[in-house]
């Protein structure tokens, strides 16, 4: 049985990863913060294959004693704080370094997968095809610290002699997605017949179901090339407005609301104007992973 450690295990992406790994018969150590209201997740998980560990990031040096056995994979997803909260973002970098130190002590054969963000790329032209060899130009504290973590972790992994892989998530939707984000709020408002005011939605976007992202992260652990970084994206990008109108169509059909399109008002261009046209070819080539869940099917999970 493969053994995996997952930090940030009770958050949006982390919870999907934990459930995916359990479905693949992994034994999972799910590491989360104390006192999070998400810590009650996984109530039905088998007790012999899901072990809950509650530590703050600054306590990750205790992970080797908490785990107590060799593990095959260390998936580091834990990250917190506001995007411009420099103090907290820097603590995230420290936490990531503590995580890789702990991973090396748990097993010299462990594969460490760190999870970054499209924010590392910064603002690219509307015509740019975002590939992994593109220069990182983050403009927020969040993106800057994610990029810093990537470089520092890759360096430290080489010194420690363990495999390191980095995945950059673009835009996830699906199970466990919190309210306050565009898609769940759009669906909720249109379903209630409320007005929705958006930017022009001219920018390109790329939505990936969180269950597909979980499979991608597992694939990176098993087949990602050590030292490499990968985009975790669907690769079927299109103007954000197209996604919005598709959501409106689905709600009109499923809820019998003929006014959904009239409820949406498009305004000025977003500022900053971030347009995402990511390539997912590298992860597909190296791992064999490919997304399976269509955008429509993800939306149906919310509507139903």
Q: What is the DSSP string of 203-261?
A: SEE-EEEHHHHHHHHHHHHHHPPTT-EEEES-S--EEHHHHHHHHHHHHHHHH--TTTG
Instruction: Read off the pLDDT of each residue in 93-107 and give the average, rounded to a whole number.
Output: 98
**pLDDT confidence tier of residue 66, bands split at 50, 70 and 90:** very high
Work out the mean pLDDT of the chain and round it to a whole number: 95
Q: Please report the sign of the dihedral spanned by the C-alpha atoms of residue 291, residue 293, residue 298, residue 301.
A: negative
Instruction: Read off the pLDDT of each residue in 152-166 and give the average, rounded to a whole number.
Output: 98
DSSP-based three-state secondary structure for 32: strand
**pLDDT confidence tier of residue 303, bands split at 50, 70 and 90:** low
* Spatial contact of 169 and 210, defined as CB atoms under 8 Å apart: no
pLDDT score of 88: 95
**pLDDT confidence tier of residue 42, bands split at 50, 70 and 90:** very high
Instruction: Assign a CATH topology to domain 2-173+209-234+279-292.
Output: Rossmann fold (3.40.50)
pLDDT tens profile 176-188:
998 889 999 999 9
Token pair recorded at residue 259:
């006014």
pLDDT tens profile 242-268:
999 999 999 998 877 778 999 999 999
- Determine the Cα–Cα distance for residues 188 and 298; give it in Å rounded to an integer: 14
pLDDT score of 89: 97
Instruction: Read off the pLDDT of each residue in 56-61 and give the average, rounded to a whole number.
Output: 97
Beta bridge partners of 229: 166
Residue 171 CB contacts under 8 Å (≥ 6 apart), including other chains: 118, 205, 206, 207, 208, 233, 276
pLDDT of 84 > 60? The answer is: yes
pLDDT tens profile 105-124:
999 999 999 999 999 999 99
Asked whether the whole model's pTM tops 0.75, one would answer: yes
Instruction: Read off the pLDDT of each residue in 160-175 and give the average, rounded to a whole number.
Output: 97
Selection from 168, 190, 187 nearest residue 179 by Cα: 187
- Determine the Cα–Cα distance for residues 49 and 234; give it in Å rounded to an integer: 30
* Spatial contact of 221 and 113, defined as CB atoms under 8 Å apart: yes
Token pair recorded at residue 177:
């997605």
């Amino acid at each position: 049985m493969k053994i995996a450690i997952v930090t940030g295990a009770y958050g949006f992406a982390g919870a999907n990863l934990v459930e995916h790994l359990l479905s693949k018969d992994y034994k999972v150590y799910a590491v989360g913060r104390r006192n999070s209201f998400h810590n009650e997740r996984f109530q039905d998980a088998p007790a012999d294959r899901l072990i809950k560990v509650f530590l703050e990031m600054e306590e990750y040096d205790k992970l080797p004693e908490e785990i107590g056995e060799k593990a095959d994979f260390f998936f580091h997803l834990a990250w917190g704080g506001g995007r411009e909260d420099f103090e907290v973002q820097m603590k995230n970098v420290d936490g990531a370094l503590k995580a890789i130190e702990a991973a090396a002590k748990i097993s010299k054969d462990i594969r460490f997968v760190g999870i970054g963000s499209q924010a590392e790329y910064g603002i690219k032209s509307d015509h740019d095809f975002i590939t992994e060899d593109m220069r990182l130009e983050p403009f927020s504290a969040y993106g800057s610290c994610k990029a810093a973590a990537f470089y520092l972790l890759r360096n430290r992994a080489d010194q420690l002699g363990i495999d390191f892989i980095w995945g950059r998530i673009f835009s996830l939707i699906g199970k466990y997605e919190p309210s306050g984000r565009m898609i769940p709020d759009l669906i909720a408002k249109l379903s209630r017949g409320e007005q929705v005011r958006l930017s022009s939605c001219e920018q390109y976007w790329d939505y990936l179901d969180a269950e597909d992202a979980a499979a991608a992260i597992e694939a990176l652990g098993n087949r990602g090339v050590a030292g490499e970084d990968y985009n975790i994206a669907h690769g079927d990008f299109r103007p954000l407005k197209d996604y919005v109108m598709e959501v409106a169509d689905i709600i009109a059909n499923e809820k019998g609301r003929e006014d959904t399109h009239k409820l949406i008002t498009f305004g000025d261009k977003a500022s900053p104007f971030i347009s995402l046209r990511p390539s997912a070819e590298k992860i597909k080539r190296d791992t064999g992973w490919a997304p399976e869940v269509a955008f429509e099917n993800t939306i149906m999970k919310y509507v139903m």
